[in-house]
Chains A and B, each alone.
Chain A
């Protein structure tokens, strides 16, 4: 399946992906209205330590440990390979946050559920918005194989 990959060497650490993600999932058409003056809760986050920085979001693992650990059955891996969370079924126990080895499942800001990148299949963007707007092409959406 097509997944999001990040090239650490090309990542500028500009955090623009985080804003593009928050905008994509805001449900608001106007970017200024969606973001201005608001604390954002993006599903992609720049992971940084000194000179090292790269964007991290859900890897849509082949054997997702979050899906296997979910206490409510809210997390599923679809036939399209996308790992999704049903926020209606989720009770917000955050077991998925505790087991995701990439730190890519996040507590939802309203506190009653978890949230994660669903490759912009759950909003109006049609394609991953972080990829589309990465100024240096560090985030890509493509097929790759294991190793």
Chain B
């Protein structure tokens, strides 16, 4: 039986960050990555930019070609881990092979969730939009005379739309929610972005869902009928928690971990879209299925696996997403007192509660938005700031002198 000091199940962003975390403390220990996808790590959200033609496969690689070799990482790609045996400290692969570990990271991500939909088996051209392989097979189906139907007006569904918009004849988008991007936008913001998407040949069917599929026709609950050639389902995702659950580790919505990335199983860590985070804005544990969060968690887990000390204490939901040149930045939760500033073409909503910035929505206001994110993640008391100035624009000059001393030292 082969044995590695560090074994990582999953080969995406959390795994890369964990490798870097491990190597910041231990330049020697052997590392094995077991990846189900047959690719080295790539920028997963880039799949829509790939369809748009704004990047290509070589540029999508998340790290330089020599990254794994330089870091002494053994790769086993296209291989599925089927079980963890925490008492024996082994991972079992499909086919039965067992591999020993000293420290294990579970970074298995998530998979598309598909609710039961009547008649879905009638549809032959059916796609998801999560992986590079999904994008490559969808690309083969695209052509200017075809009509696309996307189920789900969330981040994945709408980025998919942006990617295919000019490569198909028309796109219809259906969502159960009464507005688009319901997880990150309020009603007014959603309307503004919806207009942009409609200008690019999308038709929305909101507060509606598919009652029945024929091969080329969806009949909606409202009675409306939508004809299509290609179906993309982007309803939501489910975390891949089974390995931990079956090994006896605690799982709630996602894999339960502490601030250092430790699961309830000894020497087993978890990071990324399969694991929960403590969200500072809501004060609750939730899955923050966002690339930066996977990276933060992976790094923290890696450092701790290698005997260091790291914690993630300022996790929050934040998103920067563009559609046809319109930039949407959001963070936190939309609770408390609202400061609103809107024009025809831009939208800015800040939410204050308990004396701190709790959330924001910025549409086409990208300038220095990270200062707002910092205020939110660090829970900076607004009473110590020049709030009027901050409402107008994010600035360090509106922050207390003690904070500004940051600029005189190494950070």
Contact = CB atoms under 8 A, between A and B. Distances in A.
A142 B115 CA distance: 58
A143 to B, nearest CB: 9
Contact of A98 (B45, B46, B329, B395): B329
A93 interface: yes
A49 B291 CA distance: 34
For this complex, into which size category does the number of interface residues on chain A fall? 35 or more
Interface residues of B, number: 48
Contacts of A7: 408
A3 B408 CA distance: 10
Contact of A59 (B62, B299, B325, B411): B411
Which secondary structure characterizes the binding site on chain B? Answer: mixed
Contact of B373 (A54, A88, A98): A98
A68 B17 contact: yes
Interface string A69-100: 10111000000000000001101111111111
Contacts of A65: 292
Contacts, number: 135
A47 interface: yes
B83 interface: no
Interface stretch (B71-79, B125-133, B214-222, B316-324): B316-324
Given A72-B46, A88-B59, A93-B45, A146 B397 contact: no
Contacts of A144: 408-410
Contacts of B327: 94, 107
B355 interface: no
B318 A98 contact: yes
Nearest to B17: A68
Interface in B361-379: 366-371, 373-374
A56 interface: yes
A112 B318 CA distance: 20
A52 interface: yes
Contacts of B366: 94, 97-98, 107
A103 B409 contact: no
A71 B59 contact: no
A50 B55 CA distance: 43
Contacts of B411: 59, 61-62, 146
A101 interface: yes
A105 B407 contact: no
B367 A106 contact: yes
Contacts of B389: 49
Contact of B292 (A3, A48, A61, A68): A68
A93 B299 CA distance: 22
A111 interface: yes
A23 interface: no
B190 interface: no
A39 interface: no
A98 B320 contact: yes
Contact of A71 (B291, B369, B395): B291
A91 B44 CA distance: 12
Interface string B81-95: 000000000000000
A19 to B, nearest CB: 19
B322 to A, nearest CB: 6
A105 B325 CA distance: 18
A138 B264 CA distance: 52
Contact of B370 (A73, A99, A147): A99
A103 B397 contact: no
Given A72-B60, A73-B43, A99 B373 contact: yes
Interface in A24-53: 47-50, 52-53
Contacts of A103: 367-371, 394-396
Contacts of A91: 43, 46, 49, 54-55
Given A59-B407, A96-B370, 7 more contacts: A5-B409, A52-B404, A62-B411, A68-B292, A71-B291, A99-B370, A106-B367
Interface of A: 3, 5-8, 47-50, 52-54, 56, 59, 61-62, 65, 68-69, 71-73, 88-89, 91-103, 105-107, 111-112, 144-147
Interface of B: 17, 43-46, 49, 54-55, 59-63, 291-292, 295-296, 299, 318-322, 325, 327, 329, 331, 366-371, 373-374, 386, 389, 394-398, 404, 407-411
20 contacts: A8-B407, A59-B407, A65-B292, A69-B291, A71-B45, A72-B46, A91-B46, A92-B54, A93-B322, A94-B327, A97-B368, A98-B373, A100-B370, A102-B396, A103-B367, A106-B368, A107-B366, A112-B54, A144-B410, A145-B410
